[in-house]
Each structure stands twice: as structure tokens, then as C-alpha cells.
Structure 1
Amino acid sequence: MTHDRDKQSSEARFHKLFDDTQAMSIQGYRADGTVVYWNAASEKIYGYSTPEALGQSLYDLIIPDEMREDVKQAVAWMFEHQQGIPTARLNLKHKDGSTVPVYSSHTVVALPNDEPIMFCMDADMRALEVAEAEVQRLSYYDPLTDLPNRRLLLERLASITRSSNNDEPVAALLLVDIDNFHSINESLGFSIGDRVLAHCAQCLRRLSQSPDDLARLGKDEFAIVLPSPHSSFDAVAAQAEHLATEVLQALETPLTLNDASHKLSACIGITLFRCPNAMAGDELLRQADIALKTAKRSGDTAISFFDRKMESAVKERLQLSQALNHAIERHQLSLAMQPQVNKYQQLIGFEALLRWNHPELGEISPADFIPIAETTGAILSIGDWVLEKSCETLVRWATNSSSKHLKLSLNVSPIQFRRGDFVPRVEQLLKRTGANPKNLRFELTESLMVGDINFIVRQMNSLRQLGVSMSLDDFGTGYASLAYLTQLPLDELKIDRAFVQDLDQRGKGELLTETLISLGRSMNLAVIAEGVETDKQFERLQELGCEFFQGYLFGRPSVDAERYFND
């Protein structure tokens, strides 16, 4: 009798748990599809009340006609083998006929002397799809002015420079910088500064050929792309100068701020380029920026064109490219380790960050030399060096009881990852060094998802079979969608620092951060937030469900990682 009472008590607890679960639809079905269980969340997601659903057929209630045969086969297989099938994203049917996207998992429970029952657990993806669309929008548009941001501008430039026709037209890129904008923020306040930026965006919209040709690049800097059918540099230069003059005149129109009239001024740098063109968008921006700085230094004109007298920046890039070819052999590269911690601020691992210290050029930022390395192909040998040093580091840590459990994360360039021999090279290096692959984690950026997604998945699966874990870096800022995430064999999502910094605003950034954390946890992925710099951010991230953290609050990158676990 005691055993029966315990069993009944346990069953009652589980029934109450299932009934009260608001976030997860749970349904139970017999082998023929008859509904035997339907919790409150199922009523909310699919529109049928529990009395309406019980005794009805799964196939009539929520399965679209085009899926019916496939679902029947899957259900038959599960009851025959008495086990579930892999979780999947499905588009099911609401009572009103609308589509309900869900992330669905299934299992068959078969108890002695009892009829087997298939349980389906469905998470409603509709709110996440809305949030994903907002994440994607913020990834490509400036939230203040609603203009395209730098990322979208670079894509626009890439599209223009790839275009080809017999005329080989010339295009222009204009960089607009508002003079003394910081004084407006300091004297009138940031809200007034935001009004000024919105006003500038409106002026540019009125003058541009298309909204797609505009962008806000930074605090007070805007860009205008000027496509042209002309193949003459002189003709396009005249067009660009005319547009720049109109922009300056529009910005000089008096603006009322705090009941006082203000007149803005600006400087504009212009570069011209022929299409098609192998020059990267970053290089075009660099040229326009050189011209802009020339205009700002000049007391005679507010408009300046890039020309060959401004080649110092291009020469510097060439100098870096040549020096980079010898950086490994001359022992100029190093790895700086930034600690990663759990919610108790206990050390769980490090991210390896590449550093280049040149004897003449000094400390060179990865933001300056990594794009060069990727363009020239030097990233392949550098990536091999980083991987080898990381493995050697893991072997060294394995000899210390206080560090043998630590994971080491390192960034892998998309160019390196797409190599056909990348996986064999990793396997060979792991064997040669004796490093434990379970302590090695590769961080991949969302830009990797542009291309053959099936190849990417195969590469990731092969690496995971070796024991290496996978992290999606800077999640939420680029190309990855929920559809991609259901395909990728990931172990971790890394929340970009931009979202962490927005937590202080308690606005959309916080909502998106919460959504991204919830998404990662619902997919059984570790979620780590980078760029944590304040106790307030740390506390808020914990409240939102994040469990792992990285940032200056816990330690800056250091070539001496041992100091973090030998103290």
C-alpha cells in the first residue's frame, strides 16, 4: 500500500508540474494519434481547450495536411522502437488555421502493464522569431537614425564593386563628419545631441538617390554612396562635389535647440573608384577617411578628395602586410589570455587573443592586421601557429591540478575553417602535442554561415567527434538565424559585448539579451556574455539567466595566464 501511495503521489506531482508549465506545450498521444493529455500551455499555443482536444486525433488537430503522412510514419516508428526522435523545428497548425512555429521534442513512455504513450513537448517560437527579426534589423541599422550601419554599408559597397558592365562606371563614396559635435553633447546634453543626429539623417535622406546609399558609421559620422552611370572620373567628381556642397548647405540651415538657433557645419571626404573593383569596402572607407582628415585640417575648404598624395595610409597597410609575413619566424606574435568565469566568479577557462608586437611599429591592433592577414592568406599560417601554441598551453596546464580542468577558446577565421584539410590538421596537431581536445573550444563568427551550410555542419561535426567543442561568437550581430541554429552542432553561444553594454540603458538591448540567453538555454547550450565591465552588468546578466562571463571586470588579457590560477 505504501508503494502505491508513493506512486500515486509521484504521479500527482508530475501531473501538476506538466499542467502548470506555461512555457512548454506538453501533449500525450496513443499509438493511433488519439489525444490523452493536453496541458494549459497547449491550449495557449494551439487554441484548443483541453476538453476540445482530448479524444481527438493528433493529425486532425495540429498537423498540416502536407505533413500528415510523414508524421504518421514517424509516430509509428517511435511506438515500434519505444524511443523518441531528434528534436526539430516544425511548422504546425493552430485552431484558426494559422501556422505555429515550434521547437519540438518527442519521446515514448512505456511502463509495465500500461499502454505506451508518446509525449510531445513544443516550445512556441513565434516570439523568438519576432525578436530574431529585431536582432537582425539592429545588426544592419542604426537604432537612433534608422539608417544602415557600417555592416550594411560594406555589403552595399561590395555589391557595387562586384558589378560589371562594358562601360566600367565610376562611383563615389562620401564621408561626412559633423564639426564639434562633442560640444553639443557637453553643453546641451545627449538628448539634444540625438536630435541633431536625427536631423542630419533627415537632411541626407532628402539628398540621396536611395536610402540604401546612406549609413551612419559612428557618433557623428555618416557615409553616402554615389553610384553613377558615367565612366569618366571628372564627371563623377563633379557630381560628388555638387552633392557634398548640397549636404553642407542643408546642414547649415539654422536648427532650433533649447529655444536657441544653431547652425551646424561639417567636413566631407570623397574617394572615387571604378567598378568592378577588387578593392575592399574597408579600404574605400579608409581612403575617404584620409580625405576627410585632410578637409578637417584645411582652413580653406570643407571638401577634400582622396588622391595619390594621401597614400600614406595605403603604404602603411602594405608595410603591415609585408611585416606580417615574417611575424611568426621572428617571434613577434603572442597569445594573451582573458579569463572566463562562472556566476560565482570561479575560473572556468580563457579566451586566447592574438597579439602582435613589432620592434619598430609597436603594438599593432588585431583590428588592423587580421583583415590584412585574411586578404593576403597569411591568416592560414597564423591560424596554425595559434592552434599549435594553444595546444601546447593546454598540455602545460594539464600538469597543474589547479588548471588541468580549464578550457581554452580560440577564434578560427572563416578562411581557415573552410579549408578542406582543416580537420585533419587539427587532429594531427592534437595527437602530436597530446593536448586534451575536450579542453579546446573553437569560436566561429556568424559570417561563416554565408556559404555552404552543409559543409560547415560537416566540418563542425567532424571536429566535435575529435572532442573539440564549438562556440558561436558575437551571436546576434550577423547572419545566423534560428533556422541555422537548429542545424549547427554547437556547444555554446557567446553574447556580443554590444548587447551587454546596452544593459545599462534598460531598453531594447536588455530585451534582446534576455531573448538570446533564453534561446541558448532552451537549446541546451552554454551561454557566455563577453565585454562585462561593471558589477551592474554582471548582476543583471545573472538575473536574465546567463551563467558564464568574460570581460574586464574579471581580468584583462594577459600573456601570463598562470597568474590567474597560481595565486
Structure 2
Amino acid sequence: MTNNPDKTISEARFQRLFADTQSMSIQGYRVDGSVVYWNAASERIYGYSASEVQGKTLYDLIIPQEMLGDTKRAVALMFANKQAVPSARLNLKHKNGSTVPVYSSHTVVSLPNDETIMFCMDADLRELEVAEAEVQRLYYYDSLTGLPNRRLILERIASAMRHVNSDCPCAALLIVDVDSFHSINDSLGYSHGDKVLINIAKVLQQYRSATDELARLGKDEFALFLPCVASSPGAAAAEAERLATTIINTLKMSVVLEGKAHHLMACIGIALFDRPNHLSSEELLRQANIALKMAKRSKKNKIRFFDKKMELMVKERLKISQALNCAIQNNELALALQPQVNAQRELVSFEALLRWQHPELGVVSPLDFIPIAEATGSIISMGDWVLEQSCYRLVRWSSQKTYEDMSISVNVSPVQFRSGHFIQRVQSILDKTGANPRKLRFELTENLMVDDIDFVVKQMESLRRLGISISLDDFGTGYASLAYLTRLPLDELKVDRVFVNNLNEKKQGALLAQTIISLGRNMNLMVIAEGVETQEQFERLRSMGCEYFQGYLFGKPTIESDF
């Protein structure tokens, strides 16, 4: 019993202060985390009464599962050093499982002849977070539509511009403007105009991939940011134009106001750019605005690109796309074969490569027409044509002693591979031609693995049951990981020409090529290197253990008439 009345009164005051404070949760814990003190504010903030926490620990009550390890280490450290860790903003746990944001401070009280106690003092931040969220909303969002405003989308664009995406480096910014919107405000009033703007916002939301990629810039202007459109400028331009056309056609649908139908006509300006990019987001917005002004001035073209060259590329792609529709019927396609040899330079097989000679466009590069064919879906019929022609070639070779043992590798597009009834179409072509499927090899690219690996494996197993072998093309340049590789029913790995070309660059290319070759051999797969153009490359790859080779050193792709 103390002999100091003043000290006793002072202690009582502090105990009453701790117990009655409504804004600060104060808890006391032993070294094992068990509760020794729990004030009224703790019940209000965390939901547990003082009687409920008896016999429980800090970890049972308010620490989320993901914080348990760090919290236990911090508590042990505080008791060991008799010193608190720094105060911090934490997300703790309410009795009902909800998150409780607090600002938490700690102190360790160690008195002579008494056990050491850790006290936690937590200030409830829930109301503060609500206020912060409202400030954030007012600062970054349009109050009418709920969309991000100009400020937020500029920050989003600036952030995207700093990041590299080697798989999809081309981005686009579209500004959508509704023609003669002021006439709705003038004739029906601003309340009806607001309804139209809200409706436009809902329409545009279906074309964004993230919430911060669509914004209302002001009045009747909206910005749609596409951070990852395509891997090449031409493909990006085509995709942006396709989306813009869809938006214009969707907005043309009438909106009924005051019993009258109003048809909305939109103009769209588009700016394309690569990532990363040194241009500011304000500059990109300015470019898209210039394109928008050009579109608004035009009587016919309501979609304009900032870069005139892009417009020409889009028109060229459209011309190619239209011409592709008749390429098979007009007998414009041809099959070219490139030889594949073994380590003794003996001919063992060929790769079938598609060529296109158009009467007006001339010889069109596969690098130009294959992506367009994939985008439009015409690659499916073209792929079937290549397979059918390859099968007929194998049938003819079967009666020629020189070529009777030869096989053919056929490239299969991811679009073709994932299309409906692919396996059935392959079976039908085999039945129709009578080709031996064991003389066929399908070359698949790594980007197949980006989605639904189970489906990919199932399709590949079905092909192998038909007798067709499988080669993984461009290995090391795409999506396939070692984990995927072990699941795939493969027969061959193909070393991409990128690694072959870089065999002498600071040894990095050689190291990667050697790794792929060793990996393939350890998995009992055949390994073939493509793009071999020099004797030095051939000998280097052969010394690494590569078994098969393809490239200009052994022969260029040759069309049947010259074969």
C-alpha cells in the first residue's frame, strides 16, 4: 500500500482517463500476447467487450492472418529490448471480420517486481479514411458521370508511358466528341443533356479494360486510353480504328428524350505512340485533340489519326484484308518449302511456308498479311489450305524414292489452333488426302501458352493421337515457362533465329542457345535451329549438340514450280 496519497490520486486519474477515453483504444498484453487490459474504446473500435477478451490473445482478436508472422516478431522484439517499435498506420481486424484502419502506437512498461506489459494505443481512422476517399473522389473524378476526370487520366497515361511492355508496346489515346450536343441542352434543357452524358459514359465503359482508362474531359468530350493495343504500329492503328468505328455505330442508336428520338453523331481523334515514350501526357492529349478537330472538319471521315502515315497504314491493311478474302479462290497463294538438314547436312525434312502474290499488290510479305489474317479470322481457311497442300505433297512424295522418307513441318496459328473443330478439320484433311500423319509436324508458337494451358495440352494430345508430331517454335522468346514445358507433349524444340543471330554477341546469345539445346536434349526432344546463314553458325551450333538445322545456308524457301 502506498504511503503517498497524491500518487494514489494521480494513478486513479490516469486509470479513469484510460478507461473513459472514447477516441483511443488502449490494450495491454503479456509477453505471450494474452490480454491484461481492454478499455471501453477498444470495445467500440474492435467489437469485443472486456469480458470477451479474457483468456484471448492479441493474435486471436485483432491481427489479420497475413500480419501474424510480422506482428509476433515485432512483439517479441519489444519485450526483449523493453522498447517500442515505431508508430504506424495499420489495417487491423474487427470482431465481424471487417478491416479497421488505425494509427497504432506502442509502449513497453517494465516495473520492479512486476511483469512486463506492452500497451497498444490505437486511434480509429475509419472516419478519416471516408473523408480522404471523398476528397480523392472530388479531386480525380467527374461528379456527373462518376468517371475519372482529365487530371486522373493524364496521370494514368504518364505512368504507362514510363513502363516498358515488349510484348505489346503500342498504345492509343482516343478522344470522343458528340456532335451538336449543345442543341440538346438548348432545346430540352441541361437536365436532359446530363442524362445523355451519363448514357454515353455507360456506353463507353464497355470498351475500357481498367476503371482509370476512360475519362470525361469536360462538356461532351471523353478520353479512352488503350495502354496495350498491339505489337506493331500498323496493327495498333487497325485495332484503334476498329474500336472507334464500333463506338460511333453504338452511339448512333437513338436516345429517347421527351418522347422524341435523338441520334448521336460522334467524331473521334486518335493518337498512337510507343511505350516507353518521352512525350508528356499533355502532348499526347494535344495530338489526339488535333486529330479530333480534323475529324470534326471532315464531312465524310469521322475518325482521324494524328499521324498521316498511320492513316495510310490503316488503308493499306484494309486493302490487304479485303484482298485476302479472295486469295484462295483466285489461286494467289503458293506453298514454299525450305529444307531442314541433320548434322551431316543431309536433307531430312521441309518447312511449309505460305506465300502470296496479288495481281495489284504484288508479292505481299507474310509479316504483313499473317497478322491481318489472324485479326480477321481468314487465317483459319488459309491454314487449312496450307495443311491440305502439304498433305497432297506428302502423298506425291510417297511414290518418289528421293522424297519418300521426307516429312513436312506446318505452322499453326494460335487463332487456328483455338478455333472450333480444329482437330476434326485436321482429321478431315488427312482422310481427304490420304497423307501419312507420321510425316507431319505442327509448329506451335509460345504465345499459345498465355491462356488456358489445360486446353492447349488437350489439343496437342489429340493431335499426337492422330500421329502428328509437335514442335514448339520460337522457344525462349514468348510465354512458355519451364513449368509449362514439362506439361506439353512435345517432340521438338526450335531455337529461334534471334539466338542464332546473337551467337557472338558478348557470349549471351551463345549461352541462351546452349541452354535451350541442352534443355531439349535432356527432355529427349529433337532440337532444330532456324535462321542458320553462315558456316560458322552451323559449326558452333553443331558443337553445342544441336541435331537439325534450317536456314539460307542450306536453301531458301522454294515454291513448287521451282522445286
TM-score under structure 2 length normalisation: 0.51
Return the letter of the residue paired with 1:317: R
Contact 1:148 1:214 in 2 (8 A): no
Distance in 2, matches of 1:548 and 1:387, equals 23
Shift of 1:162: 3.4
> Which of structures 1 and 2 has the larger relative contact order (alpha carbons within 8 angstroms, sep 6+)?
1
* Residues 460, 237 of structure 1: alpha-carbon distance in 2 compared, 3 angstrom cutoff: same
Counterpart of 2:319 in structure 1 is 319
Partner of residue 119, structure 1: none
What is aligned with 2:344? 344
**Residue-by-residue CA offset, 1:228-262 (whole Å, 9 max, x unaligned):** 7xxxxxx8533889xxxxxxxxxxxxxxxxxxxxx
What SS is found at the alignment partner of 1:505? coil
What is the deviation of 1:419? 2.0
After TM superposition, list the pairs within 5 Å mapping 1:3-22 onto structure 2: none
Letter of the 1:162 partner, please give it: S
Distance 1:406 1:225 in 2: 54
The answer to whether 1:169 aligns with 2:170 is: no
Q: CA deviation at 1:334?
A: 0.5
CA 1:152–1:325: 2 relative to 1, 3 Å: closer
* In 1: Cα distance, 2:226 partner to 2:291 partner: 6
The alignment partner of 1:517 has SS state of helix
Q: 2:498 and 2:383 mapped to 1: Cα distance?
A: 26
Corresponding residue number in structure 2 for 1:306:
307
Partner of 1:151: 167
Q: 2:335–2:560: 8 Å Cα contact kept in structure 1?
A: no
Select 1:237's aligned residue among 285, 299, 303: 285
- C-alpha change, 1:225 and 1:156, in structure 2 (3 Å) is farther
Larger Rg: 2
Question: Which deviations, in whole Å up to 9, do the C-alpha atoms of 1:96-120 show, x marking residues without a partner?
Answer: xxxxxxxxxxxxxxxxxxxxxxxxx
Partner of 1:463: 463
More displaced 10-residue stretch of structure 1: 149-158 or 505-514: 149-158
Change (3 A) 1:561 1:471: farther
Structure 2 residue runs without a partner (length 5+)? 1-161, 175-206, 217-221, 228-272, 294-303
- Counterpart code for 2:399: T
The residue that corresponds to 1:366 in the other structure is 366
1:507 shift after superposition: 1.5
- Residue 280 of structure 1 corresponds to none
Residue 481 of structure 2 aligns with which residue? 481
Equivalents in 2 of 1:371, 1:559: separation in Å?
A: 22
Identify the residue that residue 537 of structure 1 maps to in structure 2.
537
**Contact preservation (8 Å) 1:172, 1:240:** no
> 1: CA distance between counterparts of 2:292 and 2:540?
47
Q: Spell out, residue by residue over 1:308-342, the C-alpha distance to the aligned partner (whole angstroms, 9 max, x if none).
A: x8632221111111110000000000011000000
Aligned to 1:297: none
How far 1:156 moved relative to its partner?
A: 10
Question: Are 2:496 and 1:496 equivalent residues in the alignment?
Answer: yes
SS in 2 for 1:504: coil
Q: Which amino acid aligns with 2:209?
A: R
Q: What is the 5 A alignment of 1:57-456?
A: 148=164, 150-154=166-170, 162-163=209-210, 165=214, 167=216, 168-171=222-225, 215=275, 223=277, 236-238=284-286, 305-307=306-308, 311-456=311-456
The aligned amino acid for 1:484 is Y
Task: Compute the displacement of 1:466 (Å).
Answer: 0.5
> In 2, Cα distance between the equivalents of 1:156 and 1:523?
43
Q: CA deviation at 1:478?
A: 0.5
Question: Which amino acid is the alignment partner of residue 462 of structure 1?
Answer: S
- 1:557 matched to which residue of 2? 557
Distance in 1 (CA, whole Å) between partners of 2:471 and 2:279 is: 36
Q: Measured at CA, do residues 155 and 466 of structure 1 come closer, stay the same or move farther in structure 2, by a change above 3 Å?
A: farther
State TM-score, norm by structure 1.
0.50
Given that residues 503 and 537 in structure 2 are in contact (C-alpha distance below 8 angstroms), is that contact kept between their aligned partners in structure 1? yes
3-state SS of 1:329 partner: coil
Q: Is the 8 A contact 1:337 1:561 kept in 2?
A: no
- For residue 318 of structure 2, what is the amino acid of its counterpart? L
Q: Which residue of structure 2 lines up, in the alignment, with residue 520 of structure 1?
A: 520
Identity of aligned residues (%): 56
Change (3 A) 1:483 1:534: same
The CA deviation string for residues 361-415 of structure 1, in whole angstroms up to 9 with x for no partner, is 1000011111111111111111111111111111111111121111100110111
1: distance between equivalents of 2:291 and 2:331? 38
Do the aligned residues in 2 keep the contact of 1:172 with 1:226 (CA within 8 Å)?
A: no
Q: Would the aligned equivalents of 1:336 and 1:355 in 2 still touch at CA under 8 Å? A: yes
Q: Distance in 1 between matches of 2:557 and 2:342?
A: 17
For residue 561 of structure 1, report the CA deviation from its aligned partner.
8.2
Is there any run of 5+ residues in structure 1 with no aligned partner, and where? 1-145, 174-212, 216-221, 229-234, 242-269, 274-286, 292-304
Judged with a 3 Å threshold, the aligned counterparts in structure 2 of structure 1 residues 360 and 484 are, in CA distance, closer, same or farther, namely same
SS at structure 1 position matched to 2:558:
coil
- Number of matched residues? 310
Q: Structure 1 residue 153: deviation in Å?
A: 1.5
User: What is the alpha-carbon distance in structure 1 between the residues aligned to residue 344 and residue 395 of structure 2?
Assistant: 26
